Structure 1
Amino acid sequence: MSKMTIGEALVSKLRQRNVTCVFGIPGVHTVELYRGLAASGIRHVTPRHEQGAGFMADGYARVSGKPGVAFVITGPGLTNTLTPMAQARADSVPMLVVSGVNRTASLGKGLGHLHELPDQLALSKTVALVSEQVSETKSLDPTLSRVFHSLANGRPGPVHIEVPLDIAAAEYQETPLATLDPEPQVNPVLITQAAKQLAEAKQTVILAGGGAKRVGVGLQALAEALDAPVVQTVNARGLMHGHPLTVPASPSLNAVRALIESADCVLALGTELGPTDYDMYDTGEFAKLSGLIRVDRCSDQLARHEATLTIQGDVDVVIPQLLEALPLDAKQCDGAERASNARDAAWEEIGPDYRHQVEILNAMRAAAPNALMVGDSTQPIYAGNLFYDHDRAGGWFNAATGYGALGYGIPAAIGASIADPTARVICIAGDGGAQFSLPEIMAAVDENLPITFVIWNNHGYREIATSMQDVGVTVIGCDPSPPDFAATAKSFGIPFSSIPAEPCAVAQALRETAATDGPVMIEVTALKFEPQKD
């Protein structure tokens, strides 16, 4: 690899690590990173804003299972990407952000260089799991080794590498790599103890989080072996679709909390037990978790909640070991009945408005089976997060939980479509959230991606307006005027239709656009929120 610059070598080594797509906006501070990109075989996708690059990388990672990669410039490029990095950290999404930074000799001196920050590396470290600088020509290899080791071990999340301008253009020096500690093996004693506790329990409930979304077959086998209802958080939706033991409803609902509290053993698989899933109404109370057994990749995560037993390891490794260790007579009773009762009570609890929106989601699922549904913070997404049974594992995700960043849906859907070009991708965004990232649709046009952008237009921030009204605050600032979406779609050069917020109309629109080549926009005209008069 002699005669290569650091920038060229970095791109080459990303390709060696199976990176096949990079999301980025070139700038004068990343020119050297782009020197070897065209010949590398890595696909480059150009968003319209660095925040879009980060959210695209997030959506790509969630669907592909590989780290999403973003190239951004020094200063504003990185700060614009911090929000997507924070969302990725909250949802345990593997992401690599590579940025430039000013010349080494100028760093921290406040000389007024272009894009200068007081301490860019320190700023990144407030969000990234790992943030490193390629500080000299011989440090590229060990830096890449450490950040990719972090991506592959422990809890996934965003990592960051910055390359100073002078280092990026310098000649690469290959460096022998130090051996890094392997991920710890699952303790077989703990497996035996967990299997014994599960076998002795009479009413187990399984809590499945995002860490379980790729082990649907094993999860179903374990649930059936225990006759245990399976409650899925938002990031686990799509697991065990339509199964008698599935409970695709928020554990914040009273009906689901009652199910969990009735258990004498709770098995939590790949879930952080965070408030946006388990206490979204901010009551300050969690369901009582009797006999809690937790399985998670992250030791820090396991230490955050008191448990009877904790097992550090990937859920996809632990589940087969638990199945093997369970005695043949471990099966309990009434699991399907308990699950059915919880589903029925949860359906009633969410109320008529949300039930109507879930019916629209069900119509979408029927019209576009096995689709990837990517959402922003908007009414039908809130409804689905409370109660919705998707038909594809990992196929329902959004930014309405965790960090809760608006503007996520449109770019994340683009990343998802690139990760799986065979999938139908449906992006659900509100008129307010869509305005955060509406220009990113042009990236879908550039890439000719088969994405249906469903804009739920209720002329404002209804969820916030309702929240203000509920606590006696005069509603203000919640009615930003939406654009003319028909004219917007025309300017993008994509097909457009406007339909009422009814299940049959939405399903028909999806069926009519199923064979469309490239992106499509469907505006769903919902009732405008009108604050109550004093």
Structure 2
Amino acid sequence: MTHDHDLVLRPTAAQREAALNPPPGRNGGDLVVETLAGLGATTVFGLPGQHALGVFDALRRSSLRYVGLRVENNAGFAADAYGRITGEAAPLLLSTGPGALTSLAALQEAAAASAPVLAISSQIPSPGLGGGRHGYLHELPDQAASFQGVVKSVHTARTQSQIPSAIAEAWKSALTAPHGPVWVEIPQDVLLAPTSLPVVTAMDATPDDLVPRPELTSVAAELLSGAARPAIIAGGGVVRSDASGKLRRLAELLDAPVVTTYGGKGAFPWAHPLSLQSWLEDRHTTDFLEDADVLLVVGSGLGELSSNYHTFRPRGRVIQIEADLGKLESNHPALGIHADARLALQALLETATERRDPGAAERVREVLSRVSDRIASQELTLEQSLLTAVRRALPARSPSFWDMTILSYWAWCGFDPRGTNLMHSSQGSGGLGYAFPAALGAAVADPTHPVLAVSGDGGALYSIAELATARQHDLPVTWLIIDDGGYGILREYMTDAFGEPTATELTRPDYVALSESFGVPGVRTTPESLETDLTRALATPGPSVVVLPAVLRMFAPTHLGQGG
């Protein structure tokens, strides 16, 4: 009897000949790029550095496309977006010490958003490893320790023969649910040394399936099928696992209203009769969800933003489907199902029975009407009109990327992405500077649709250098910069808390003139002409900048006891 583990893949004659006679002039860096190509990578992001030159030299002998950014953190944001858009692990090539550490904030966002980023960094030469202080340039006492608490897994290759397996293991980790960033480091001398090892060909790094336990999905299906007032919260896990179609079928089977978290934007059709949209920072929505007798939470840990700043107190039975074990029941007691959202929803579809609730759609309309009336009472017409203008200008299949700025906070709640995996922001970890470099990564992944980035002037200053990247690669990204003269949301927070702001006001450049100095066309717009100017910019090939001088306000919060 033959078992699977007894099977050995036998090389073809051509593979055997190539293995016995590898081409000359290869080094350890070639093993890195050959492994990436063998795993299916086509594009890598990064920034060169002294210890990593072996990898970058090898790139010119490979078929991989290299997209270099100007700051490592921005390269990480670009890789993050590439991973989100393609669902593939996005290689990020970094150098030792300062270069590696500069990527940390981007990797934190990738971890929070479950974006598959494969970071590969150089290390100091092998004789210096081990925690000593040898005086090497860029040396850290323990570089991997700096990333241990941020990424999913850390892998070190200390010899050339370890490189293919270490990278394949990291690749598998990045793409096994929950997706996330991983870290590989390789010493400089290992990358530079000539190698006689065979050319790396096909690598097997198939992700593991995270399958739900059937006894748990059976109980969940029974609870949902027999519920009087079921409701669903859909998070980013639905988007990452490409499960929006299954979510819709389950919601329709159960007549269950659905609200999407900010990370789950697009997981459920915005205009569907059962769609509560994304108004999570609203007491009317919170009350509705608390009143559900069975609440299905899919692909969300119900963190700060998804729980209306931890004011959410569900009264019914909660069922939580979550691929990240650490998030399972971390905020609310639940029937916890540790599984990939797609596989768990499929199991529920196979076991749940149809329930009809003719009044469900009417209750959804009532909640949305109350939310609309509350916003209308605050006289925030400028902010609403700007969001409407952006939506009208942005083509239906174009992705958008949003920085931590006031218009983004509005968009989290009130923007219709018109599709799954089309709206992304840095609300996972909340760092500044995400939108523009992430939009560049998305444009690299799919240049057939124009991409929109939205930043405030504070966040824009983090990313200005990448105008050079946009121009160099001629990427179809339009960057909308809302210029309010400072850190607008922090200005609001401080004024509310202390009566006046401190450290929020900024001297900033003329963004139009600055963008044009990079060879990127720029235009200064007004609220009245935003839709026209943004439409024109998005329709023009290559990068562009649209600057809107405006001071925006947030809608009033409605946490516990603040409804109305």
TM-score normalised by structure 2 residue count? 0.88
Which position in structure 2 is the counterpart of 1:269?
298
Within 2, Cα distance between the matches of 1:126 and 1:94? Answer: 16
Decide which of 475, 481, 489 is 1:455's aligned counterpart. 481
Within 2, Cα distance between the matches of 1:172 and 1:234? Answer: 50
Aligned-pair distance for 1:172?
6.3
Within 1, Cα distance between the matches of 2:204 and 2:422? Answer: 38
Aligned-pair distance for 1:449?
1.1
Aligned-pair distance for 1:528?
8.0
Deviating beyond 6 angstroms after TM superposition, the runs of 4 or more aligned structure 1 residues are: 174-181
Which position in structure 2 is the counterpart of 1:532?
none
1:249–1:343 contact (8 Å) kept in structure 2: no
Task: Give the AA of the match of 2:403.
Answer: D
Question: What is the CA deviation profile of residues 223-268 of structure 1, one whole-angstrom value per residue up to 9, with x for unaligned ones?
Answer: 1111111111112212313111112224232111011011001001
Stretch deviating more after TM superposition (248-257 or 88-97) = 248-257
Question: What is the CA deviation profile of residues 64-95 of structure 1, one whole-angstrom value per residue up to 9, with x for unaligned ones?
Answer: 11122211110111010011001111111111
Aligned residues: 522
Question: What is the CA deviation profile of residues 170-190 of structure 1, one whole-angstrom value per residue up to 9, with x for unaligned ones?
Answer: 326579999999434322222
With over 3 angstroms needed to count, the CA separation of the structure-2 counterparts of 1:162 and 1:287, relative to structure 1, is: same
Decide which of 209, 216, 220 is 2:248's aligned counterpart. 220
Within 2, Cα distance between the matches of 1:179 and 1:56? Answer: 23
Q: Confirm whether residue 341 of structure 1 aligns to residue 366 of structure 2.
A: yes
SS at 1:236 equivalent: coil
1:263–1:290 contact (8 Å) kept in structure 2: yes
Task: Give the AA of the match of 2:244.
Answer: G
The 5 A counterparts of 1:28-47 are 28-47=50-69
Aligned-pair distance for 1:384?
1.1
Which position in structure 1 is the counterpart of 2:532?
508
Question: What is the CA deviation profile of residues 487-516 of structure 1, one whole-angstrom value per residue up to 9, with x for unaligned ones?
Answer: 1121011222111124xx221112223431
Q: Confirm whether residue 81 of structure 1 aligns to residue 103 of structure 2.
A: yes
Which position in structure 2 is the counterpart of 1:18?
40
Which position in structure 2 is the counterpart of 1:377?
404
Aligned-pair distance for 1:333?
3.9
SS at 1:522 equivalent: strand
1:74–1:99 contact (8 Å) kept in structure 2: yes
Within 2, Cα distance between the matches of 1:353 and 1:491? Answer: 39
Task: Give the AA of the match of 2:286.
Answer: R
Task: Give the AA of the match of 2:234.
Answer: A
Within 1, Cα distance between the matches of 2:96 and 2:53? Answer: 11
Task: Give the AA of the match of 1:92.
Answer: S
Within 1, Cα distance between the matches of 2:467 and 2:380? Answer: 28
Within 1, Cα distance between the matches of 2:358 and 2:224? Answer: 13
Q: Confirm whether residue 519 of structure 1 aligns to residue 543 of structure 2.
A: yes
Task: Give the AA of the match of 2:514.
Answer: T
Within 2, Cα distance between the matches of 1:391 and 1:338? Answer: 23
Aligned-pair distance for 1:453?
0.6
Task: Give the AA of the match of 1:388.
Answer: F
Decide which of 203, 217, 226 is 1:191's aligned counterpart. 217
2:290–2:312 contact (8 Å) kept in structure 1: no
With over 3 angstroms needed to count, the CA separation of the structure-2 counterparts of 1:356 and 1:147, relative to structure 1, is: same
SS at 1:160 equivalent: strand
Task: Give the AA of the match of 1:364.
Answer: V
With over 3 angstroms needed to count, the CA separation of the structure-2 counterparts of 1:181 and 1:407, relative to structure 1, is: closer
Within 2, Cα distance between the matches of 1:364 and 1:181? Answer: 38
Within 1, Cα distance between the matches of 2:484 and 2:31? Answer: 50
TM-score normalised by structure 1 residue count? 0.92
The 5 A counterparts of 1:426-505 are 426-502=452-528, 505=529
The 5 A counterparts of 1:111-150 are 111-150=134-173
Which position in structure 1 is the counterpart of 2:12?
none
1:234–1:396 contact (8 Å) kept in structure 2: no
Within 1, Cα distance between the matches of 2:469 and 2:516? Answer: 15
SS at 1:292 equivalent: strand
Which position in structure 1 is the counterpart of 2:284?
255
Aligned-pair distance for 1:6?
2.2
Within 1, Cα distance between the matches of 2:287 and 2:339? Answer: 29
Q: Which runs of 5+ in 2 are unaligned?
A: 1-18, 554-564
Within 1, Cα distance between the matches of 2:382 and 2:207? Answer: 51
Aligned-pair distance for 1:118?
1.5
Within 2, Cα distance between the matches of 1:94 and 1:256? Answer: 32
Task: Give the AA of the match of 1:513.
Answer: A
Task: Give the AA of the match of 1:249.
Answer: S
SS at 2:162 equivalent: helix
Q: Which runs of 5+ in 1 are unaligned?
A: 530-534
Task: Give the AA of the match of 2:364.
Answer: A
Task: Give the AA of the match of 2:535.
Answer: R
With over 3 angstroms needed to count, the CA separation of the structure-2 counterparts of 1:513 and 1:316, relative to structure 1, is: same
Aligned-pair distance for 1:354?
5.3
Which position in structure 1 is the counterpart of 2:263?
235
Q: Confirm whether residue 397 of structure 1 aligns to residue 424 of structure 2.
A: yes
Stretch deviating more after TM superposition (243-252 or 112-121) = 243-252
Question: What is the CA deviation profile of residues 170-227 of structure 1, one whole-angstrom value per residue up to 9, with x for unaligned ones?
Answer: 3265799999994343222222221111110011111000111222222221111111
Q: Confirm whether residue 418 of structure 1 aligns to residue 418 of structure 2.
A: no
RMSD: 2.3
Within 2, Cα distance between the matches of 1:20 and 1:211? Answer: 25
The 5 A counterparts of 1:263-302 are 263-280=292-309, 284-288=310-314, 290-302=316-328
2:322–2:328 contact (8 Å) kept in structure 1: yes
Q: What is the aligned-residue identity percentage?
A: 30
Aligned-pair distance for 1:358?
3.6
Within 1, Cα distance between the matches of 2:520 and 2:462? Answer: 19
The 5 A counterparts of 1:137-216 are 137-170=160-193, 171=195, 173=197, 182-213=208-239, 214-216=242-244
SS at 2:91 equivalent: strand
Aligned-pair distance for 1:346?
2.4
Task: Give the AA of the match of 1:223.
Answer: A
